[in-house]
């Protein structure tokens, strides 16, 4: 196997992928905009970045670098900012990779390309059409389309991965908040929340990405992937309480109270993610790549933030 170039190597997913591939003795070339031991610092990820010095002997690329979704957007033109980082910079790298003879380009996208939520009994599947609804998801969907066009023109294979919420050591966001709650031994306030949300442990995601490097069934496809068992927010908090060594308890809070509090605090999006469903059916993914997650839910939750 030739060298795998990993962009965004110092980020949450990137740092875990670097560690996973090094444990397996796989040749990698990790790059990042930040200084980090064992990682090559590059100036920027833009539409003008010269990637040629980093592409020598590279067979595969796992492109993780991105402008990620944020709860409080500060840019005056979010869509343009997301497109610069997630579309223009990505396709610049892909074009240079194709010219350099890279065999496969793996792009870490997001389940948000499929949509923001699912209805009961109707999880997202690989065959569902894209339905991106915010600037972040739109930019990822446009990058997917551009990669497919470059692949068709050049012969470079591409693989697109659309994960749901990724958790594990170093995670932030809502998951980190729920974990802090559980570590304090506070009761779940979500017993009336009967949603279903798919998750994926970062170790399972890196295992899947490594599987996709060379598997023939991964060529020129997109995949939804998860831990396999969706959880309600209440179930997740209960499991986190147990993982933290605390007794699972609950105090019912009406759904209207959550929505009212979110509106008052200006955190409507955060509350929506705690209450709404976003469920994945990834059976086709598992069958196509003969893949099952190496880490079970209980083990993954005990891994901590």
Q: Is the pLDDT of residue 149 over 90?
A: yes
pLDDT, residue 70, reads 61
Taking the C-alpha atoms of residue 280 and residue 159, their distance in angstroms, rounded to an integer, is 18
Asked whether 92 and 46 are in contact (CB, 8 A), the reply is yes
Out of 20-24, 166-170, 197-201, 252-256, which region has the weakest mean confidence (pLDDT)?
252-256
Provide the sign of the torsion angle of the four alpha carbons 136, 137, 140, 145, taken in this order. Answer: negative
Structure tokens at 223: 């995949």
- pLDDT level of residue 225 (50, 70, 90 thresholds): very high
What does the pLDDT average to over 91-104? 98
Q: Is the pLDDT of residue 73 over 60?
A: no
- Is 201 in the active site? no
Q: Which among 290, 129, 110, 108 has a CA at the least distance from the CA of 217?
A: 290
Q: Is the pLDDT of residue 297 over 70?
A: yes
| Domain edges within the chain | 3-169+200-227+280-295, 173-194+232-275
Choose between 305 and 234: higher pLDDT.
234
Q: Which among 178, 182, 155 has a CA at the least distance from the CA of 167?
A: 178
- Classify 3-169+200-227+280-295 by CATH class: alpha beta
Which residues are paired to 107 by β-bridges? 63, 160
All residues at 6 or more sequence positions from 25 whose CB lies less than 8 Å from its CB, including other chains? none
pLDDT, residue 269, reads 79
Q: Is the pLDDT of residue 261 over 80?
A: no
CA atoms within 13 A on the CB side of 291: 28
Out of 76-80, 205-209, 279-283, which region has the weakest mean confidence (pLDDT)?
76-80
What does the pLDDT average to over 109-131? 96
pLDDT, residue 89, reads 96
Question: Considering the chain, what percentage of its residues have pLDDT values greater than 90?
Answer: 77
Q: Is the pLDDT of residue 253 over 80?
A: yes
pLDDT, residue 69, reads 65
Choose between 206 and 75: higher pLDDT.
206
Query: Considering the chain, what is the average pLDDT of its residues?
Result: 92
- pLDDT level of residue 154 (50, 70, 90 thresholds): very high
Catalytic residue among 45, 136, 167, 201: 136
- pLDDT level of residue 75 (50, 70, 90 thresholds): low
Q: Which among 15, 45, 50 has a CA at the least distance from the CA of 33?
A: 45
What does the pLDDT average to over 90-107? 98
What's the predicted TM-score (pTM) here? 0.93
Helices and strands: H and E segment counts in the chain: 11, 9
Choose between 90 and 36: higher pLDDT.
90
Taking the C-alpha atoms of residue 246 and residue 238, their distance in angstroms, rounded to an integer, is 9
Q: Is the pLDDT of residue 71 over 60?
A: no
Q: Is the pLDDT of residue 119 over 70?
A: yes
Q: Is the pLDDT of residue 72 over 60?
A: no
Q: What are the b/e assignments for 54-74, b being 16+ CB within 10 Å?
A: bbeebbbbbbbbbbebeeeee
Q: Is the pLDDT of residue 280 over 70?
A: yes
pLDDT, residue 1, reads 64
String of DSSP letters for 87-145: IIHHHHHHHHHHHTT-SEEEEE--GGGT-S--BTTB-B-TTSPP---SHHHHHHHHHHH
């Amino acid at each position: 196997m030739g060298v795998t170039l990993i962009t965004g190597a110092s980020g949450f997913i990137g740092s875990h992928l670097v560690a996973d591939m090094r444990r397996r003795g796989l040749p990698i070339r990790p790059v990042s905009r930040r200084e980090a031991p064992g990682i090559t610092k590059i100036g920027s990820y833009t539409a003008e970045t010269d990637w040629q010095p980093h592409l020598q002997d590279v067979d595969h690329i796992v492109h993780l670098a991105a402008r990620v979704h944020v709860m409080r957007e500060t840019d005056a033109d979010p869509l343009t900012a997301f497109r610069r980082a997630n579309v223009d910079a990505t396709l610049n790298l892909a074009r240079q990779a194709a010219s350099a003879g890279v065999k496969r380009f793996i792009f870490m996208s997001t389940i948000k390309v499929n949509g923001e939520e699912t209805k009961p009994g109707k999880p997202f599947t690989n065959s569902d059409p894209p339905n991106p609804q915010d600037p972040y998801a739109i930019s990822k969907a446009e990058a997917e389309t551009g990669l497919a066009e470059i692949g068709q023109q050049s012969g470079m294979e591409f693989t697109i991965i659309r994960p749901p919420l990724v958790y594990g050591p170093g995670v932030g966001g809502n998951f980190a908040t729920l974990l802090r709650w559980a570590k304090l031994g506070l009761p779940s306030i979500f017993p009336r929340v009967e949603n279903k949300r798919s998750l994926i442990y970062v170790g399972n995601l890196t295992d899947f990405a490594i599987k996709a490097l060379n598997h023939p069934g991964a060529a020129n496809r997109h995949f939804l992937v998860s831990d396999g068992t969706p959880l309600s927010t209440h179930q997740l908090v209960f499991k986190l309480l147990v993982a933290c060594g605390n007794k699972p308890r609950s105090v019912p809070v009406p759904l209207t109270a959550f929505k009212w509090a979110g509106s008052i605090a200006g955190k409507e999006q955060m509350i929506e993610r705690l209450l709404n469903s976003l469920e994945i059916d990834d059976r086709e993914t598992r069958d196509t790549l003969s893949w099952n997650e190496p880490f079970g839910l209980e083990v993954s939750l005990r891994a901590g933030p």
